[in-house]
Amino acid sequence: MTKSTKATADAGDVFRPPPGPAPVLVVDDEPAGVATTAGRLADAGCPTAVEGDGDAALGLVRAELMRLVLTELYIPCVEGACLVTALKQERARLPRLRVLAYTRHTAAADDAWALAAGCDGVLHKPASAGALEREVRRLDGADAVEPRSSHNRSRP
């Protein structure tokens, strides 16, 4: 089992990702949500890093330490209305960056906002461990993805 790591962007405490695939950055301002999500991903063999602060998460992305960010929708960030909109601006420099909104907000309007703001997918909490793993695997390392939400996803 892979352990999750508390990631920070402080100059004195630089996060170093483990060797192998880039970790999935889990961003949520609720500690219980971070622990549950990171635990599910670790159980699936996905290396994870966690952050509860939008600015610190943005710093990790800008340092090119992350390729996939799994975030609650409305995480505050100094630059832009929230982390999701700030990450969209990073896409020109980091075209392989993928963003999955993993959110408790289940309204179709929230999904539409997330996709318009630049998310590659929207998954609603609580999703099964299998659904979370499938969506992460769909996005991780993909050169191009078709954005989709739980509201428009066909179920197998």
Confirm if 70 and 24 have CB atoms less than 8 A apart.
yes
DSSP 8-state code for residue 127: P
Vertex 140 angle, CA 48 and 73, to 5°: 70
Handedness of CA 110, 86, 69, 10 (dihedral sign): negative
Q: Is the pLDDT of residue 15 over 50?
A: no
List the single range of 11-15, 39-43, 89-93, 112-116 with lowest mean pLDDT. Answer: 11-15
CA–CA distance, 81 with 84 (Å, rounded to integer) = 8
Closest CA to 68 of 140, 20, 156: 140
Q: What is the pTM of this model?
A: 0.76
Residue 3, pLDDT above cutoff 80: no
Higher pLDDT, 82 or 57: 57
Pairing verdict, β 4-6 and 98-103:
unpaired
The reply to whether CATH 3.90.1640.30 applies to domain 4-149 is no
Amino acid at 43: D
pLDDT tens sequence across 66-104:
789 998 888 877 655 688 888 888 877 887 888 999 988
- pLDDT of 154 higher than 70: no
The tens digit of pLDDT for each residue in 113-152 reads 889 888 999 999 888 888 998 888 888 765 555 565 655 4
Q: CA–CA separation, 62 vs 1, rounded Å?
A: 28
From the list 31, 39, 50, 37, the residue with the least C-alpha distance to 125 is 37
DSSP H or E segment with residue 68: strand 68-71
Mean pLDDT of 47-59: 88
DSSP label at residue 155: P
pLDDT band at residue 105 under the 50/70/90 scheme: confident
